[in-house]
Structures are given as C-alpha cells and as structure tokens.
A and B are shown apart, each in its own frame.
Chain A
C-alpha cells in the first residue's frame, strides 16, 4: 500500500484568497486575535511573519486584511478539499485540521504509474489555487511526517522513504512532549536513532504507546484508516474579508462556485433544478434565495444568468459577509437524443427551459401561468391556472363535447348597464355549487351590445343582469 498525504499549510488563507478579486495583504489570526497564524505572500514580502503579534503586523502593513480563525470553519473547508480529491482517489481520510490522506497504491495502474498520479493531484491543486505539501509514504504516518516536514517526494521505494524518515529530527516525529524530552535525554536526535533501538527495550523504558507509534511509522504494525464518504449534497461557502455591499460583487465568487457545481454535477452525471443561496449578514438573519430552473440544468452560466436576474430584482438587505450555495435535489441526467417522441429536438426543449427560467427569475414564479379546463359547471371554476413547470402533457378527452363558451372571461361578473340590441341564444341554465357553499344559479344568454360586442350575459337568482364574458 502506498499513501499520499497532502498538508495544507495555510488552508483558510487559500480559501479566502480565491474569492477575492484584488490581491491585498491578508493574514489569519488566532481566535483571541493576538498572533498571526497564516500570512499571504504579499504580507510576507512586507515583513509579516507567522507567529508575529498582530499589532506589529498592522504597523508593518496598515491596509492589512484580518480574518479570525474558527475551528469549525477549518473542518468544513477541509471537507471541501476532500470532495474534489474524491474524484481522483477512492480511499480518503481526513486528518483535521489541515491534512488529507489518500491511498494511491491502487491507483497506479489506472493513471499509468506513480508520477502520473502525482501530476494529476498537483494539477488539481493548482486548479483550486491551493498550496499543499504532498508526500508519499508506505504507511499513513510516514506520509504525514514527511509531508509536514516539507520533504515530500514522488517515490514508491520503501527504502528511500525510510531513509528520509531516519534523517528527520526527533521534533518532527510528533511524539508527545514528555516522550520527546525523554528521548532527547537518552541522547537521541534523529528518528533513525530511535528506529535502531530494540523494540522490547523501547516498550519497557518508554511506553507501549510510543513503540506502537514507531511501529506504525515503520509499517510493522497495522494502521487501519476508515474511509471518508462524500455527502449526497453539494455545499460551498465563500467567506469575505470585507463585507460586500453590492450584488455585483457577489458575482465573482459565485462564478467560481457555480463552475465547481458544474464540475460536481458533471462528475455525478446528474442535473439539478433548484439552487439554494444563503447570503449571510453580520447582524441579521441571512437572506435565503431559491433559484429554480424550469428544467434540469447543470451549466454554470445558465445558473449565473438566473442568479444575476434575481439579484437585479432583489437588492441586498444588508452587507454580505458570507455566501453559501447548496444543492440537495439532484435529477438524473437525460441522455441527449436527437428527437423525442413528439418530434421536438433537444435544442428547442432546452431553449424552452431557458426562456421560462429567465422569465420566472425576473417576474417571479407566479407571473407565468398555464391554463387548463376543469370539470365544473360553474364558469368561474371551469378553468384553472397552474404554474409553469416542466413540459407536462394534459390529456383532454374530447374537446368537442365542451359547451360553447366565450374566449374572454371577465375577472368577475360586471353589471350590465344598457339593454342589448340583439339576443341570440339562451337561456342556458347553470346551477350548482350547493356542495361547497359557492352556489350559482344563473341563466346565460348570448347578446349583442350597441357597441357591436358579443357578450355572454346572465341573470342570476336575484334578478340582476351581468356580463360574464366576451366572444372575442
């Protein structure tokens, strides 16, 4: 077995930096806000160092961007990285706060050799704009120690790995402080000297746990790793150093998130029809936006267009400190066929979905209606309007058996104010609705008004005359 360990020296910094358009000096400070934990190259160039007091750093770089580290955030960001790595390697283990372990021995054949695996991972790291120290090792711990020491090499040779380990100082082996001191007092300085000690002596003089750890590093004791399973949903978060006040500023990070969503969907071979967007504010509850497409979709620019339309319609309530994009609903992707049963080509179908989604995003879901007849005798209930969703097919049994009705139905009956000049047909009595309390008892006539309009008029029980429709 061969393991690959990725150590991210400044993961949080990378996470924040990739959603920033301008590259300004940025540091991560510890929770209490005292010391600098991570600093970006721009800040380092101007003298800011890790471990420096924040006050000193601000004196050096007055326009410094400052982000406070939060432990729960680290874990989430690490999981984001595991998600893309899962596309390349199946067996992944998270080692919080800043490491990922992947089993790559079984991948060599797939990628065509160890260098190819290495290159693939490096390329992916590059695409995600991440800094990582990578190392291979014949045991998980060996890979981890080498990676954290920054001496990683692409090698599958056990002897070479052991030689690298043996040359490493004792401090790098991550023993607990007590063991470390004891080993140093024994006059041991490198890991190789510890390896050379006989095992029973080690266990007796130090502790069985220390021996177990050394054996795990060497590979003479099994070190099982439980594999990580990717979640069945997509979630991405962008955190901003400076609050974003205009929706225009959200588009840049959104673009990156959506293209990651597109990658993810392509990899899943699935589509989605609804996105959830949460804009987090500093003092208020977050704004939740639900972006719906009228059909399955996976392309980033289609989503971006819809979100842009929505943001244009809905100005930001408050400045945004973080943006969360999540997708929970996935739809199986339909195989693109030349023509479907009804002779509609895929292109037209897609154009239809694009148009309807665009209109819905700007006008709201309720502005678009599809009409259909309903089985009721009362004219105002004999039709219904439903929201336009995917292209469904309503089946009408026999339209020719429907009674003669006007093309226009008024919103509500209007009083008839002048006597019609001609009567054509009628009366047609419509009576019903006793079952749901909206009783209707009317005699309908077709009549022509003086203006030449053909009207559908009725007289109801209370002797009132009303116009209910126009024969347009």
Chain B
C-alpha cells in the first residue's frame, strides 16, 4: 500500500468498520474512570474540538470538566471561559481547588469577535483548556476552529444545545449530556474519532452539592409546601 494510505490508516482518519484501531492521539484523562473506560482509555482529545451537547445548566456539566481544570491550572496552564451563560462563581471554583489566577473569563460582543478570540486562544501555547458557549455556529466556522485547535495542543470544549446532535460536526468527540434520576449525569457518546460511537454511561455527580447518595431522595418538608398551604 502506498505511504499516503498507510498514514491515513494509522491516523485513523479513514474509518474502518471492521477493526478498532488504537489511535495515539494526545489526550487528557477526564478524571472519571467510568467515562475513560467508555472512551477506550482516552479522555478529552488534545488538539481537537470536543462538543458537549447540553440543554440546561445545572446538571453537572461543569463538574465533568473540573478534574481536568484542576490539573491544568495546577500546572500553570490557563483556562479560558468564553461567553459563559452565567457567572462562574469564584468561591465554588476556589473550593474545588482551581487556581483562579489561571482562569480568565472573556465576554466577546459579536460572533466575529467570538471566533477570533477562540481561535487566538486555541493557537496559543499557554492555553490548557477553553470552554466556549457559541450561540450558533456555521459548519464552516466549526471547521475553522478545528483547524485552529489542531495548531495548538489544548482541549477545547464547545457547549451546544442538544438539537445540534443530528448535525454533522468535525469535532473529534461529541458527548450528549442529560440529567439522570439520582442527580447523576448520563453521558451518551455521539461521536468519537477512530471508533464506534454509542457508548452510554452514568456518572455520579451528587457530590457537586454535597448530597449523600440516597436511593429515594428524601423530601424535606420544605417551607414550599407550608407556604402553599
């Protein structure tokens, strides 16, 4: 086989249905053993885009990234939050052991600025992780971002709505996140580079509010009912 074809095969850019190639893309473990196993031992890909498809905040989507954030800020890499929907709450992040000196929050006014900023962050060697909340993205823009992320070697996570799940995307990893019954986070692997998608798992996220795990959530007779009465 020609050399070109060989390289393509080894890079796992050409998808081969009949065998699972172990690919050697650089990556960062997610910090959740269950999820790492589902992703074939690799976690967040470095130098490629990842997408988290989430509908509402508050289901544990940030906690999914906290282990990575802790590790990166500890080693002096910068974490950028680009256009977050709400304020990242500093006391909570500090409590989780994140070095806030390495966290920079950016608000970009329009779409052009957003893409420009994201691209610059991705290309810089100081960036460890970029969390970005794009409003809407054209496929062309995602492609551009994918190229920018290949230029650097950092993790970039785009948070998008779940209605984009069916759309085609060049991102290397796409996770659909939905809330579970026991305050856990259900992860559905929509796409992963070099292997079959479709793995599902559930991550315990009750620790994000210091909730002891309970089979049936014990309903406290809150003042809610009293006030309704």
Contact = CB atoms under 8 A, between A and B. Distances in A.
Interface residues of B, number: 57
A444 B88 CA distance: 19
B121 to A, nearest CB: 7
B158 to A, nearest CB: 16
Contact of B62 (A348, A354, A393, A408): A408
Interface stretch (A76-84, A237-245, A452-460): A452-460
Interface stretch (A27-35, A318-326, A368-376): A368-376
A463 B227 contact: yes
Interface stretch (A42-50, A117-125, A129-137, A415-423): A415-423
Contacts of A367: 106-109
A352 B104 CA distance: 12
B125 A348 contact: yes
B224 A363 contact: no
Interface residues of A, number: 71
Which among B62, B87, B106, B211 has the highest number of chain A CB atoms within 10 Å? B87
B86 A471 contact: no
Contacts of B84: 408
A176 B166 CA distance: 94
B104 A370 contact: yes
B205 to A, nearest CB: 8
Interface in B53-96: 56-63, 76, 78, 84-95
B59 A410 contact: no
Interface stretch (B1-9, B12-20, B136-144, B177-185): B177-185
Given A399-B94, A445-B222, A388 B104 contact: yes
Contact of A363 (B56, B78, B89, B117): B117
Contacts of A470: 57-58, 86
Contacts of A406: 58, 89, 92, 209
A311 to B, nearest CB: 15
B124 interface: yes
A172 interface: no
B60 to A, nearest CB: 7
Nearest to B220: A423
Top 10 A-B pairs, shortest CB-CB distance = A452-B179, A470-B58, A453-B58, A383-B90, A472-B62, A371-B90, A405-B92, A409-B89, A423-B220, A422-B217
Interface of B: 56-63, 76, 78, 84-95, 97, 100-101, 103-109, 113, 116-117, 120-121, 124-127, 178-180, 183, 208-211, 217, 219-220, 222-224, 227-228
14 contacts: A348-B76, A352-B78, A355-B120, A362-B117, A369-B104, A370-B103, A372-B94, A396-B100, A405-B95, A408-B86, A411-B86, A423-B224, A465-B224, A471-B208
